[in-house]
Amino acid sequence: MPNFDITITAIVIVGLIGGILGVCGYLTLGERKISAWIQDRVGPNRVGPGGLLQPLADGGKFFLKEEVIPDHVDRVFYLLAPAVAVGTALLALAIVPFGSTTPAPEPVAITTPDAVATFDAQQKAYAESFNFVLAPGLDIGVLYIFALGSLAVYGAILAGWSANNKYSLLGSLRSSAQIVSYEIPLGLSVLGVFILVGSLNPEKIIAWQATPGGTPDPVLGSVTAWLRGIGLAVGNNWWLVLFQPLALLLFLASSYAESSRLPFDLPEAEQELIGGYHTEYSSLKLGLMLLTEYIHLVASSFMVAVLFLGGWSLFGLESISSNAIVAAVLKLLILCGKMVGLCVFAQLVRWTIPRFRFDQLMNLAWKVMIPLALLNLLAVIFVKQFGWSLIVLTGVNALLFFGAGVLGARSRGTITNPKRAVKKMPPGLPAGVTYAGR
Partner 1 sequence: MPIAESEVTWVEEAKLGLWEQLYIPALIDGLKTTLSHMVSRKVTEQYPEQEPTMPLNYRGVHRLNRDANGRVKCVACYMCATACPAHCIDIVAAPAPAEWQKDGREKYPETFVIDELRCIYCGMCEEACPVDAIELTTLYDLTGFSREQMVFDKEKLLSVFDTTTQAGTDPVRTQAGKLSVASESPPEQK
- DSSP string covering 265-285: -TTT-HHHHTTGGGTT--HHH
Distance between CA 197 and CA 392 in Å, rounded? 16
Minimum distance from residue 415 beta carbon to partner 1 (Å): 8
- Number of other residues whose CB lies within 10 A of the CB of residue 407: 12
Residue 337 or 403 having the CB closest to partner 1: 403
Contacts with partner 1, residue ranges (CB under 8 A): 34, 37-42, 249, 348-349, 351-353, 401-402, 404-406, 408-409, 414, 419, 424, 430-432
Minimum distance from residue 43 beta carbon to partner 1 (Å): 8
Residue 6 or 406 having the CB closest to partner 1: 406
Q: At what angle do helices 324-350 and 283-307 cross, to 10 degrees?
A: 110
What residues does 418 pair with on adjacent strands?
413
Residue 315 or 345 having the CB closest to partner 1: 345
Using the Cα atoms of residue 401, residue 406, residue 411 and residue 412 in order, give the sign of their dihedral. positive
Minimum distance from residue 80 beta carbon to partner 1 (Å): 39
Beta carbons within 8 Å of 141's beta carbon, 6+ residues apart: 95, 199, 200, 201, 202, 203, 205
Minimum distance from residue 35 beta carbon to partner 1 (Å): 10
Minimum distance from residue 92 beta carbon to partner 1 (Å): 27
Distance between CA 55 and CA 43 in Å, rounded? 13
The DSSP letter of residue 67 is -
Minimum distance from residue 216 beta carbon to partner 1 (Å): 32
Contacts 24+ apart (CB under 8 A), 396-403: 397/243, 397/244, 397/245, 397/246, 397/247, 398/245, 398/246, 400/246, 400/372, 400/375, 400/376, 401/245, 401/246, 401/249, 401/372
Minimum distance from residue 327 beta carbon to partner 1 (Å): 34
Residue 34 or 391 having the CB closest to partner 1: 34
**Does residue 107 have a cis bond before it (omega within 30 degrees)?**
no
Minimum distance from residue 347 beta carbon to partner 1 (Å): 10
Residue 64 or 406 having the CB closest to partner 1: 406
Minimum distance from residue 175 beta carbon to partner 1 (Å): 24
Residue 226 or 351 having the CB closest to partner 1: 351
Residue 115 or 348 having the CB closest to partner 1: 348
**H helices within 308-433, ranges in order?**
324-350, 358-363, 370-386, 391-410
- DSSP string covering 130-163: --SSSSTT-TTHHHHHHHHHHHHHHHHHHHHHHT
Distance between CA 191 and CA 141 in Å, rounded? 13
Q: Characterise 213 by phi-psi region: left (phi > 0), alpha (psi -120 to 50), beta (else).
A: left
CA distance to 60, 98, 130, per residue, from 127 (Å): 41, 18, 8
Find out whether 57 and 47 touch, Cβ atoms under 8 Å.
yes
Residue 273 or 342 having the CB closest to partner 1: 342
Minimum distance from residue 403 beta carbon to partner 1 (Å): 11
Residue 351 or 366 having the CB closest to partner 1: 351
